[in-house]
Structure 1
Amino acid sequence: MSTLNLQHIPRVKNITKEEFITNYFKPQKPVVIERFTEDWPAYSKWNLDYMKAIAGDKTVPLYDDRPVDYKDGFNEPHAKMKMSEYVDLLKKEPTKYRIFLWNILKEIPQLQNDFTYPDFGLKLMKSLPMLFFGGRDSHTFMHYDIDLANIFHFHFEGKKLCILFDQKQNDHLYKIPHSLITREDIDFSNPDFDKWPALENAKGWQCELHHGEVLYMPEGYWHYMKYLTPGFSMSLRAIARHPKNLGKAIYNVLIMRHFDNLMRRVKGQKWIDWKNQQAIIRTQKRIN
């Protein structure tokens, strides 16, 4: 089995605001905080059965790991299902279907009573707590967020593998141009270095997240998430503070996304194929 050059993300039991800012936010380093949520009602309540009970009749958008198609709109779901059916599916068998970017405040406002917004010294976007669900062995593509936000990722039920890279590793990751993802055919949990030799030069981080733990992902960090068991997570985010990252975020939202959508409409699948090819050509050029 090929293994990436990954160091374990540091873990702390708990953390003060001052410690977080000094040791992790300012140097832009990830950290797992193990016991931060233990006084939240969510710590004892949030599991798949509770979500089924509270949101069972909601129709949820589902995504799988099929490659990007030029006809797909930005974040357009691949399927829809009632939450009760989806939880039953998660518990019955492995499934590729995931929920991501599901705004719980909009859908189930009473879930807000189960947690409090943490004070890590960063101003959180309180209207955007997002939930993410996945079945055993389902995974996200390696990607970073369009707004390069600081992300606090709270995990509930089961176990999840998280692999992170900072933006300095872009040259080694087969990044797709005009996009926020790497080549979708790379398995970051078991990469083929014969096919993707540049990955051997990438230096990253990893952790296994368990119920109630929170992972801090600094601004613009690439992340790949693999559900080792069925489970779900909630992300809270704070706007990018580093001027360079803020500039990139504005460019992504106002220009890059619209340019990419225009090219999909004009060139169709040829545009997607060209981008995938360029990811290899440009990476090879850099390592040579």
Structure 2
Amino acid sequence: MSGCNLPGAAVSETNSCWADMMALLPKSKEDLKLEFSDKIERSVIMLLQQAGELFYGDRRTECLQTSEIIIDYTWEKLNTGTWRDVDKEWRQVYSYGCLFKALCLCGGEGGDVAEAVRVCDMGLLMGASILGNILVEVIRVLRKHHPRGERSTEGRDGEPSKKKSRSEPPSIPTVPLETAVPRLHCPSLEYFKNSYLVPQKPVILEGTVDHWPCMKKWSLDYIEEIAGCRTVPVELGSRYTDAEWSQTLMTVSEFIRNYIVNEQNNVGYLAQHQLFDQIPELRQDICIPDYCCLGEGDEDDITINAWFGPSGTISPLHQDPQQNFLVQVIGRKYIQLYSPQESESLYPHETHLLHNTSQVDVENPDTTQFPKFAEAAFQSCILNPGQVLFIPVKYWHYVRALDISFSVSFWWS
């Protein structure tokens, strides 16, 4: 499969693209208003103002150099200490640096559009919104005028990609009737609230998302068409509790080619809460479940997560701090659920970082080390496309993908 194969445009098309790009920006450097508090060093603010002057003065080569200095300096600020301690203004400075660099990269005939998109994505992932979330709009304009080229069937070595055959098919667990999560077809808000939300009981909802565009549109080909050239964070490792687990950045096309199509050791997983903000085209294909209106917060308080990976991907037994609707779009998942009352028998990690995660390997437990686990009561299910699993707050859940899988979860209070 190709990465972000964005061909060079004709001069007229380039001019049209640039006109659309400039329409997104303030009309002059004075209107840019690069103003920050004293948390941002004066020398950095002066660099930003210089970049603005160079850009509006049509000195793009010098602007590109200045923007790279800004990005390099703020990158150190973003990666020093914990993420929650990074001031929003430093993230905005980083986004401005990415904006200027992206504009300079794609300006003129023969510009590096693929790299400009990557830079914008870095601003969206690591920065903060500026100028009405302009980085999203810059990408939209670039993709409109430089549409993706024909899909390639070549792998990294230049040979056609061939799906590796598995030595063993994934095991499909049996779900006994007595432990199966109950299923309901389109329950009323009142019935769901009284029977499952208030008493905090898991349930599978059917028929509630059949009308979502993603249920008919999403496939590997569609996801690559919409998002193939976009840079996203990918988790490497079979589960986040493993010592070799890490994160890296790659394009969606690279992820699909290396970890979905070629099944490279089944260790790649795209788990992201920013994906739908970063790629609005995918966000348009899903909806907030109606049952979320029973919560206390506003729609803006709902966190939407994407979970995309090959079969065999595992989320260890863990609990989340909010109510959760897990919507299965592509593939199937096997899930085990344990009530918070069983917490003592699930042996949570003692470290603060993993206190919400069990030490037990659910499908291969060490009963000598964790003797109480065998007595813990649980429910289980195989979640199919179009089904929605309600996971009450603090309910422990273990998840294993049985197929190539794309799920969307909604965390709400």
**TM-score if structure 1 supplies the norm length?**
0.72
Query: 1:161, 1:207 within 8 Å by CA — same for their partners in 2?
Result: yes
Name the structure 2 match of 1:176: 349
Residue 108 (structure 1) shift:
0.6
Q: Structure 1 residue 91 and structure 2 residue 261: aligned?
A: yes
Query: 1:159, 1:209 within 8 Å by CA — same for their partners in 2?
Result: yes
Cα distance in 2 between the residues matched to 1:200 and 1:13: 33
Residue 19 (structure 1) shift:
1.2
Cα distance in 1 between the residues matched to 2:202 and 2:342: 15
Larger strand proportion of the pair:
1
Query: 2:326, 2:388 within 8 Å by CA — same for their partners in 1?
Result: yes
Name the structure 1 match of 2:284: 113
Query: 1:98, 1:133 within 8 Å by CA — same for their partners in 2?
Result: yes
Query: Which segments of 5 or more consecutive residues in structure 1 lack a partner in the other structure?
Result: 240-288
Name the structure 1 match of 2:324: 151
Query: 1:95, 1:135 within 8 Å by CA — same for their partners in 2?
Result: yes
Q: Select the residue among 192, 195, 202 that pairs with 1:23.
A: 195
Instruction: Count residues with an aligned counterpart.
Output: 230
Residue 194 (structure 1) shift:
3.6
User: 1:19-40 deviations in whole A, cap 9, x for unaligned?
Assistant: 1101100110001112211111
User: 1:124-181 deviations in whole A, cap 9, x for unaligned?
Assistant: 6546211011211110111112xx1000010111111111112111110111123211
Name the structure 1 match of 2:373: 199
Q: Select the residue among 189, 205, 216 that pairs with 1:44.
A: 216
Name the structure 2 match of 1:259: none
Any residues of structure 2 matched to 1:136-285 within 5 Å, and which?
Answer: 136-145=311-320, 148-177=321-350, 178=352, 179-183=355-359, 186-239=360-413
Name the structure 2 match of 1:266: none
Distance 1:3 1:49, change over 3 A: closer
Cα distance in 1 between the residues matched to 2:357 and 2:389: 20
Query: 2:319, 2:356 within 8 Å by CA — same for their partners in 1?
Result: yes
Larger helix proportion of the pair:
2
Cα distance in 1 between the residues matched to 2:217 and 2:363: 31
Question: Residue 207 of structure 2 aligns to a residue in which SS?
Answer: coil
- Which has the higher relative contact order, 1 or 2, with Cα contacts under 8 A spaced 6 or more apart? 1
Name the structure 2 match of 1:59: 231
User: 1:192-231 deviations in whole A, cap 9, x for unaligned?
Assistant: 3244221112111111111111100001111111011111
Query: 1:164, 1:204 within 8 Å by CA — same for their partners in 2?
Result: yes
The list of structure 1 runs, each at least 4 consecutive aligned residues, that deviate by more than 6 angstroms after superposition, is 1-6
Distance 1:4 1:113, change over 3 A: closer
Opposite residue 181 of structure 1, the aligned amino acid is T
Opposite residue 55 of structure 1, the aligned amino acid is A
Query: 2:210, 2:386 within 8 Å by CA — same for their partners in 1?
Result: yes
User: Larger C-alpha radius of gyration, 1 or 2?
Assistant: 2
**TM-score if structure 2 supplies the norm length?**
0.52
Higher mean alpha-carbon deviation, 22-31 vs 116-125, is at 116-125
Name the structure 2 match of 1:78: 247
Residue 190 (structure 1) shift:
3.2
Query: 1:132, 1:234 within 8 Å by CA — same for their partners in 2?
Result: yes
Question: Residue 288 of structure 2 aligns to a residue in which SS?
Answer: coil
Q: Select the residue among 299, 305, 316 that pairs with 1:130.
A: 305
Residue 117 (structure 1) shift:
1.6
Question: Residue 224 of structure 2 aligns to a residue in which SS?
Answer: helix
Q: Structure 1 residue 13 and structure 2 residue 188: aligned?
A: no
Query: 1:193, 1:199 within 8 Å by CA — same for their partners in 2?
Result: yes
Cα distance in 1 between the residues matched to 2:240 and 2:405: 21
Question: Residue 33 of structure 1 aligns to a residue in which SS?
Answer: strand
Query: Which segments of 5 or more consecutive residues in structure 2 lack a partner in the other structure?
Result: 1-170
Query: 1:101, 1:131 within 8 Å by CA — same for their partners in 2?
Result: yes
Question: Residue 114 of structure 1 aligns to a residue in which SS?
Answer: coil
Cα distance in 1 between the residues matched to 2:399 and 2:299: 22
Cα distance in 2 between the residues matched to 1:171 and 1:136: 30
Distance 1:59 1:220, change over 3 A: same
Cα distance in 2 between the residues matched to 1:68 and 1:173: 18
Query: 2:277, 2:283 within 8 Å by CA — same for their partners in 1?
Result: no
Query: 1:96, 1:139 within 8 Å by CA — same for their partners in 2?
Result: no
